[in-house]
Structure 1
């Protein structure tokens, strides 16, 4: 009998500063962060197959996220 443990989930990589912006949700002007999110299929808890990549900018105060 064989057992395979697999899963699916995101991995987030911080890409640094995206510059100061006004947030449309909270209205604060602050330094936003850029992040790259990659969804992975994993086998035995090891990521083996990337399934999509999205780059976003995030407001550090309220957490509002916009895709770029």
Structure 2
């Protein structure tokens, strides 16, 4: 029997300021958005076991990403953009 086991990353916009465009220090565009990331072990592309949760900024152009802290999340709630460094 052949089992296909792998890792899968699921992203969705962060409710607290996920619609605020932020600056990407890698490609120098205003294209980064706040997302919530869940990494899971998957079996045949079905998520089985989540093992890592994070809140991060991810650029939609170059794909650069960085974790954000609670201070950055509070600035996003107020509508202030933050940057990926």
Residue matched to 1:10: 9
Unaligned segments of structure 1, at least 5 residues:
none
* Separation of aligned partners in 1, 2:59 and 2:43: 33
C-alpha separation between the residues in 2 aligned to 1:31 and 1:45? 29
- Aligned pairs for 1:40-51 within 5 A: 40-51=40-51
Unaligned segments of structure 2, at least 5 residues: 69-85
Larger strand proportion of the pair = 1
Structure in which a larger fraction of residues adopt helix: 2
**Structure 1 residue 44: deviation in Å?**
2.4
- Size of the alignment, in residue pairs? 64
**Which is higher, the Rg of structure 1 or of structure 2?**
1
Contact 1:4 1:44 in 2 (8 A): no
Q: TM-score, normalised by structure 1?
A: 0.61
1:66 CA drift (Å): 2.5
TM-score in terms of structure 2 length: 0.53
Task: Give 2:53's aligned residue.
Answer: 53
